[in-house]
A = this chain, B = another copy of it.
């Protein structure tokens, strides 16, 4: 197997110098059209592909941004990722992606690994990074965006919405509808879920009339199946009294809904169900499930844009961006 072609090989074929080839690849408009086409032909002919490592080393620009999400299997982060990829494409960047499985320690290791790629920006999910991770990130000097939730003390930039407020609002929605024996079904119990739960408790505590709450949580990862199990659990705990459940996400809500059919409960007459994240299925099941929508795709896109504008050296502290959320009221409540 003959070695991979390099710049010089292309230069030889095109009859120009190596640096000219380099320019054709990175600044085509700095080269005359004649040479440019000659070089481009040579590149295509011998199937030359630039060595990114050498390019990054020499230019001190990696063309890479690093992204860490807590889970690949959660559709929520998938939406964000799609936004990120769509934005990244415009800027001719590459993404290196890590999945930290909701673990700050794994995240710390990933941050170190991904920083070694000399990314030009870093997108993180959430706000619970370890101290050492924060040190590494700050030391790197690159722009950083923390996604999904709002932080009091962001590392750098921050874009998201208040899961606490959303929790309050959706709980109040149930209370306003007349439900008084509210259940909270929670899985995974990451920081965002905890904030939703805190909102749930706050709304109940602030409510002027007597009402009951039942909280059933597990650190297991969320799934549709688990939603059914948690519904069973909350019905057991409330001795069948529970008349509405706030599920910490739509997977649980769907599972709970499917379980009500097996339990012969009418939704929303016997029990109301609401979820979180507004997945497609929630709008299409019968009855459709009330949920909390947020602009995940746009959040991903905007995170990339923030990184790109931030690399312009203005180290002014930017305030967190609240993208908001929207309660989508449907038949299940």
Contact = CB atoms under 8 A, between A and B. Distances in A.
Contact of A136 (B47, B79, B225): B47
This chain: how many copies in the complex?
Answer: 2
Interface string A38-64: 000000000101111111110000100
Given A47-B135, A96-B96, 16 more contacts: A49-B136, A51-B116, A52-B53, A52-B117, A52-B118, A53-B53, A53-B57, A73-B79, A78-B78, A85-B99, A94-B117, A223-B280, A254-B284, A255-B284, A258-B286, A261-B286
A261 B94 CA distance: 45
A147 B181 CA distance: 50
A54 B54 CA distance: 7
Interface string A303-327: 0000000000000000000000000
Contacts of A286: 258, 261-262
A251 to B, nearest CB: 8
Interface residues of A, number: 52
A117 to B, nearest CB: 5
Secondary structure call for the A interface? helix
B254 A51 contact: no
A139 interface: yes
A19 to B, nearest CB: 18
Contact of A281 (B49, B52, B136, B224): B224
A49 B4 CA distance: 29
A51 B284 CA distance: 49
Given A52-B117, A135-B47, A96 B95 contact: yes
A22 interface: no
B285 A258 contact: yes
Contact of A82 (B54, B72, B79, B141): B72
Interface in A239-280: 254-255, 258, 261-262, 280
21 contacts: A1-B141, A4-B139, A4-B141, A49-B112, A49-B116, A52-B117, A52-B118, A53-B53, A53-B117, A54-B57, A72-B85, A73-B82, A75-B75, A85-B99, A223-B280, A224-B281, A254-B284, A258-B286, A261-B286, A262-B286, A281-B281
